[in-house]
Structure 1
Amino acid sequence: MAFSETLWQSIEGIFAKILEHPFLKGLTDGTLDEEAFRFYVVQDALYLRDFARGLAILGAKAPEDDWLIMFCEHAKNAIVVERALHESFFREWGLSDEEVYATPMAPTNLLYTSYLLRVAYERPFHEGVGAFLPCYWIYLEVGKALEAKGSPNPLYQRWIETYSSAEYESVVRQVIAAADKIAETLTDKQREAMRHHFVVTSKMEWMFWDMGYRKEGWAI
């Protein structure tokens, strides 16, 4: 069994809870409050800046040139390609870039991005890959699961189509393949450290959607 398969098995319960979350259910049946979706998209735009920085760090640490190129390209695409998706939403809502990027990070967003950047900076390359992989992989699997249902809301459908697309799947498969190749060189202890980060950030993926659903603010 490939190491990536064992990683996914370790979060099957978490993924099931993600699919059950009312934020995602609301995307497909169209009942999600659009204010919650807007809150989520703005926070996701803020998230992607730090996610891209973390990918650039992984690229710098990568022991193989192919992985250096891959993560640096993904860092660029996180800003250029996914920002284009976000900005298509912002135009419809009449939000300027200045308004979006002046928005404070919600507590969960700050927690998640801080964790990713700390792991990318401070921990070995393989642990960083373990921490960043759920954001790729869970979005793909969510996109595929939601694609089967579709959404009556064109904004939500556009989001679903982005993450269920063949283009996005190709990107995710590159990282999964890299994770498997990396794992071949690791000790059991190192693989367990990689799995630990994978599970932690998978939980944070659930928390991120929950943050959007609640339109989470600071309690003080």
Structure 2
Amino acid sequence: MGFAEELRNSCVEDWEAAVDHPFVNQLLDGSLADEDLRRYLVQDYQFCDAFVALLGQAVASAPTLPSRLVFAKVLGAFASDENTYFQDSFDELGVPERDRFAPDLAPATRSFDSLMREALATRSYPEVLAVLLVAEWLYGDWAAWAGDPATWPAAPKHADWIRLHNNPEYNAWVAWLREEFNAVEPSSQADRTRVAETFAEAVRLERGFFDAALKPAVLA
């Protein structure tokens, strides 16, 4: 068992609760209300800045050129395909300009953004990878439950979000990310503990973010 699998198993309750979350299940069967999808996408889009910065830090911190190039390729895809999905969905859901780029942030959003930026500030390759791995692997896990694309919801606002996280390129990226994370497993117990705590907190916050999409909290 690699370090990635070890850490996932250590927080399996939160992981499985996120993957099998009511928000996810409603997205997968196409019953997710526009109000809930709108709330989720507006808040999720606010992570783009920190996520792009994390990918950039991974490019800077990776130990080899081949690894740097993988992150650079993903960074380019994120800036095009995923951003296009957000903008198209915002148009369909009637999201105004202010809510796209400067909405009031929910507590769950603030917490996850802070975790990303804390990992970024460390400039530690394993710690940056821990946050990236949770964000990508967990989404790949829930999207895998969509099954045959012929059974996916008809609406692009649902189906395209599934497709972005369930396709051969994305699955290969997640598999590579796990292997890369396992290859740079920290040798000292202190570093292992810190990375494990970051990983577990990211999983907990992913679960909380889905909770917030269905149960809107008072904005801070």
Q: Name the TM-score class by shorter chain.
A: 0.7 to 0.9
RMSD: 2.3
Report whether the alignment pairs 1:49 with 2:52: no
The match for 1:180 is 182
Q: Secondary structure at the match of 1:146?
A: coil
Task: Give TM-score scaled by structure 2 length.
Answer: 0.87
Tell me the residue number matched to 1:68: 68
Deviations 1:138-162 (A, max 9, x none): 0000100233695545232222222
Determine the structure 1 residue equivalent to 2:82. 82
CA distance in 2, matches of 1:105, 1:75: 24
User: What CA distance in whole angstroms lies between the structure 1 residues aligned with 2:132 and 2:88?
Assistant: 25
Which residue in the other structure is 2:58 paired with?
58
| CA distance in 2 between partners of 1:79 and 1:105 (Å) | 22
Q: Indicate the residue corresponding to 1:207 in structure 2.
A: 208
Deviation at 1:137, TM superposition (A): 0.4
Match of 2:144 in 1: 144
Contact 2:53 2:120 in 1 (8 A): no
Q: Give distance in 2, aligned partners of 1:217 and 1:148.
A: 38
Count how many residue pairs are aligned between Structure 1 and Structure 2: 218
TM-score by length of 1: 0.87
Alpha-carbon distance in 2 for matches of 1:203, 1:148: 29
Greater RCO (CA < 8 Å, at least 6 residues apart): 2
The equivalent residue for 2:23 is 23
Q: Which moved more, 1:32-41 or 1:53-62?
A: 53-62
Kept in 2, the 8 Å contact 1:107–1:218? The answer is yes
Identity of aligned pairs, percent? 22
Structure 2 gap segments, 5+ residues each:
none
Say if 1:200 and 1:26 are closer, same or farther in 2 by CA, change over 3 A: same
CA distance in 2, matches of 1:196, 1:74: 26
1:162 maps to amino acid:
L
Task: Between 47-56 and 62-71, report the one with greater CA deviation.
Answer: 62-71
Deviation at 1:42, TM superposition (A): 1.5
